[in-house]
Amino acid sequence: MTAVQHRSAQEIGRTERGPRPVPPLGGQRAAAELSHVDTVLPNGLRVLAVRKDTVPLVEVRLSIPFAGTGELHAATAEVLAETIVTGTARRDRVAIDTEMALIGGELSTVVDPERLAISASALASGLPTLFDVLADLLTEASYVDAEVARESARLIERLAIARTQPRTIAREALQRRRYGNHPVTREVPEAEDVAKVVPEAVRALHANAVLPRNSTLVIVGDVDPDAVVAELERALGDWASDKSANVLPDLPELTGGEVLLVPRPGAVQSQLRLSAQALRRTDPRYAHLQLANLAYGGYFSSRLVENIREDKGYTYSAHSGFEFTGNTATLLVDADTATDVTAAALLETRYELARLGLVPPTADEVESVRQYAIGSLGISISSQTGLAGQLSALAQAGLGFEWLAGHPERLAAVTAEEVAEAALDFFAPHRFTGVVVGDADTIGRGLEAVGGVAIGAA
Amino acid sequence: MAVPELHRFKLDNGLRVVLAPDPTAPVVGVAVHYDVGFRSEPEGRTGFAHLFEHLMFQGSESLEKLAHFRHVQSSGGTFNGSTHPDYTDYYEVLPAAALERALFLEADRMRAPKLTQENLANQIDVVKEEIRLNVLNRPYGGFPWILLPPVLYSTFANAHNGYGDFVDLENATLDDCAAFFDTFYAPANAVLTVAGDFEVGRARELVEKHFGDVPFRPAPPRRSFAEPRPAEELRGFHTDPHAPLPALAVGYRMPDPVGELDAYVANLVLAGVLTDGDGSRLQQRLVHRDAIVTDIGAGAGLFGPFEARDPDTFSITAIHAPEVTGDRVLKAIDEEIDLLATTPPDERELAKVTARWVAGLHSDHDRMVSRTLALGAFELLYDDASLVHGLADRFAAVTADDVAAAAKALRPDSRAVLIVQPEGGSK
């Protein structure tokens, strides 16, 4: 290339002194204790406030259970999420944006079949404004006709884009495969349903479903937890109802089944998605299963990644992880692979599932995943955003700061035998169901040969 | 907030070092930035800098293939690397106890990476899957970072696809790897950054211990990628097989990010005034008033600001409905930019953008990975990591006239317009 003279690859890889030993780890001090408050306001909202003053910011995560069974619920909820910031009795959308911007603030909403989530951040000095805007949205959002019409039109355009994303196509197919017609499957509404949503329906949904009881609010940042709870109680005093926010009905228990081939003609890549029932965070064996999952495909140094990426080059990314929905937890394995190696990738993915139980993680593997689980948790909660996100997920599951603080100890106590038991119980290939989305003409024959694959419409 | 303490020094082999101690959490970040990105690739080797980034994880004299990942992760840490126009970075964030191990890992591959035919073939496959995932199999893949440069720029260095063509990737040889490493991966062509919970004297000893005997090689002379600005409006067209809606990207040349830093920052404020939030100029006009685009965004640098030397790109992108022509969108953008050039933003408009930037800078600083990477990139590109801490003041110092001047420089007769059409769109 550009060097006139250069060493060969072999010469580059060798020094006179030769290979060197990897240094041992040094001493690790524990993270500082953070002062926090975990309480329920008179209106039924659970509030978790934590002082973490590394930077002069605050992070707020409000999560409202938002399930619904009506035919247009998913579409109406999506329009509500897009429109809630477009105006109140006191502020129009530009005023909301301006007030938030002047305190360095951002505000976003997202809805799924389980929850409506409002996330906000701002300079800590702007907290009174942030609370005032938040309260205004929760109690006075107006959903004026023109804004609902415009946001619905934008949403329909965005849905068109989402439905051409391979990951969205695969996700929808997996949800149907796992849960049939349960409301949890309606993650992305139909465009024609969105077109039917009228402003009155959005206003009615807000009145009936944007409710404090059953909801959780996490606030992390440069704040005094006690003072912030008092401020929040004042700011959200008018947000009240006798009713409780709508919790998603329990999901059916997952049982294994054939993987469904979902055709996507001409695709240059296939999406593999496999899933099985898992354990909730409150289960005594959760930490065991967490470590077994990491060893399988939960981090880069896992068996699955080392096999289908680093050894065989079938994929850029392969991963397995937990999904928590309501009172249930599942394992989800995903990989996007080249079309011509799709069947081979499925074979290897299943092989590693079986092998995890039959040739369980060695002591070294267990130590590696244990340190990774403890270390990466510590890293993720070392930032305000990371801590707020972790606590919000825990709060929704009825857990709190103590669970987080105690989790490294639980991980430290897991034995290799316990990981092996969890692997054998939860990673058996027959427990999994799933989908493969791809070019059926090219991958169908190989998948049939591998077996355990149903060929048909999604 | 007090300005954090920074310690900068250079080893005898030319390696520049930035130490940024911070005891607030028992976590450290370690990064190495090499002064080479995809603009330095030779013709016929598109995508090579990124492919090489993959190979740097595949083993070294002291570590077998996969060992690098295992050592970082079994220490409780996370890692990655990324390739930019003008640099390639490698980084780990770990519990503080693993600081020496992270320094060892980075030093070992700087000293003696093991480049093998087998790993090269494997990583060519992995990179091709990465490109299929992020570009070929997805709507708007590569929009605009791969698609806009060939319209705006005329030289190979600036215009080519940084992810690479499959043919070029497949033709990459082990000898190319060796030449690339010896030329660009010299300690004198790199910056080591260590941030987080450590004692400065001890960290300095560890840096000397592990990097001190990486032999000196001269840094390659820095090439200029300068080329004239367009003398007319340039247009390019791309048919996207997956996109459901048309899109367009407008690219402008901008002030030298290094030599004209304040003018560059004024362009970032301009981008905020144009598209940041519902109250911004282009959001109000195109999304809400005219309702002709679904979304619109503007910004400097095709991966973000402060990641390239001159020339750098200011871009505006929009996705719009099929019944709206690209020219109609363009006309509305031009009218708003003209308006801004003649009637500067008011105090509140500026205050909004500045406050959001300040909060964003704090937030970046709070995440160990982004703080470590920002310090390293500023040391590499600007020879001064401490500039990171002065950025908030620089944003605050931008005046309404600066923003108007920046808007005036976004000239229709010196820009690139990329039109993306859905494959079914013209039928």
Are B119 and B265 found together in one domain? no
Are B204 and B241 found together in one domain? no
Judging contacts by C-beta atoms under 8 Å, the chain A residues touching residue B97 are 25-28
Are B246 and B105 found together in one domain? no
pLDDT in tens, A119-143: 999 999 999 999 999 999 999 999 9
Domain end (from B212, B246, B263): B212
Domains in chain B: how many in total? 2
A366: closest chain B residue by CA = B74
Whether B221 is covered by a domain: the verdict is no
Are B101 and B41 found together in one domain? yes
Calculate how close chain A gets to B363, using CA atoms only, in Å. 7
Q: Which of residues 145-184 of A touch B (CB under 8 A)?
A: 150, 153-154, 157-158, 160-161, 163-166
Judging contacts by C-beta atoms under 8 Å, the chain B residues touching residue A100 are 277
Are B397 and B250 found together in one domain? yes
User: Complex ipTM, two decimals?
Assistant: 0.93
Contact A13 B277 (CB under 8 A): no
Number of neighbouring beta carbons within 10 Å of residue B218: 10
Question: Touching check for B132 and chain A: CB below 8 Å?
Answer: yes
pLDDT in tens, A48-78: 999 999 999 999 999 999 999 899 999 999 9
Whether B220 is covered by a domain: the verdict is no
Contact A97 B277 (CB under 8 A): yes
Whether B228 is covered by a domain: the verdict is no
**Mean of pLDDT values over B87-112:** 98
Calculate how close chain B gets to A371, using CA atoms only, in Å. 5
Are B202 and B244 found together in one domain? no
Are B237 and B177 found together in one domain? no
- Assigned token pair, A9: 């690859």
Calculate how close chain B gets to A456, using CA atoms only, in Å. 22
- Ranges of H-type helices in B142-277: 149-152, 156-159, 166-171, 174-184, 200-211, 261-275
Instruction: Quote the pLDDT of residue A79.
Output: 98
Confidence of residue A185 (pLDDT cuts 50, 70, 90): very high
Whether B225 is covered by a domain: the verdict is no
Instruction: Quote the pLDDT of residue A455.
Output: 83
Q: Supply the DSSP symbol for B413.
A: G
Give the sheet arrangement for strand B27-34, strand by strand: B7-10, B16-21, B190-196, B27-34, B88-95, B78-83
Domain end (from B161, B182, B212): B212
Are B141 and B248 found together in one domain? no
Contact A3 B183 (CB under 8 A): yes
List the domain range (segments joined by +) for residue B267: 233-422
Partner-chain residue, chosen from A15, A25, A312, that has the shortest CB–CB distance to B101: A25
Domain end (from B212, B241, B260): B212
Are B357 and B269 found together in one domain? yes
Judging contacts by C-beta atoms under 8 Å, the chain A residues touching residue B243 are 161, 164
- Ranges of H-type helices in A142-243: 145-162, 166-179, 191-196, 199-209, 225-235
Q: Which of residues 405-434 of A touch B (CB under 8 A)?
A: none
Look up the CATH number of the domain holding residue B101. Answer: 3.30.830.10
Judging contacts by C-beta atoms under 8 Å, the chain B residues touching residue A32 are 24-25
Whether B224 is covered by a domain: the verdict is no
Q: Assess whether pLDDT exceeds 90 at residue B1.
A: no
Instruction: Quote the pLDDT of residue A458.
Output: 46
Are B59 and B207 found together in one domain? yes
The domains located in chain A, with CATH, are 36-235 (3.30.830.10), 259-455 (3.30.830.10)
**Mean of pLDDT values over B165-189:** 97
Instruction: Indicate the average pLDDT of chain B.
Output: 95
**Residue A103 burial by Cβ neighbours in a 10 Å radius (0-12, 13-18, 19+):** buried
Question: Touching check for B374 and chain A: CB below 8 Å?
Answer: no
What is the CA angle A443-A449-A451, rounded to 5? 100
Whether B2 is covered by a domain: the verdict is no
Phi, psi dihedrals of residue B166, rounded to the nearest 5°: -55, -40
Q: Which of residues 36-65 of B touch A (CB under 8 A)?
A: 40, 42, 45, 60-63, 65
Question: Touching check for A300 and chain B: CB below 8 Å?
Answer: yes
Contact A48, A219 (CB under 8 A): yes
Q: Assess whether pLDDT exceeds 50 at residue B427.
A: no
B64: closest chain A residue by CA = A19
Are B196 and B264 found together in one domain? no
Contact B183 A6 (CB under 8 A): yes
For residues A354 and A322, what is the distance between their CA atoms, to the nearest angstrom? 18
Classify the phi-psi angles of B7: left when phi > 0, otherwise alpha if psi is within -120 to 50, otherwise beta: beta
- Assigned token pair, A237: 């005093």
Contact A300 B73 (CB under 8 A): yes
3-state secondary structure of A392: helix
Instruction: Quote the pLDDT of residue A1.
Output: 54
pLDDT in tens, B377-417: 999 999 999 999 999 999 999 999 999 999 999 999 999 99
Judging contacts by C-beta atoms under 8 Å, the chain A residues touching residue B138 are 165-166
Instruction: Indicate the average pLDDT of chain A.
Output: 95
pLDDT in tens, A259-316: 999 999 999 999 999 999 999 999 999 999 999 999 999 999 999 999 999 999 999 9
Are B315 and B344 found together in one domain? yes
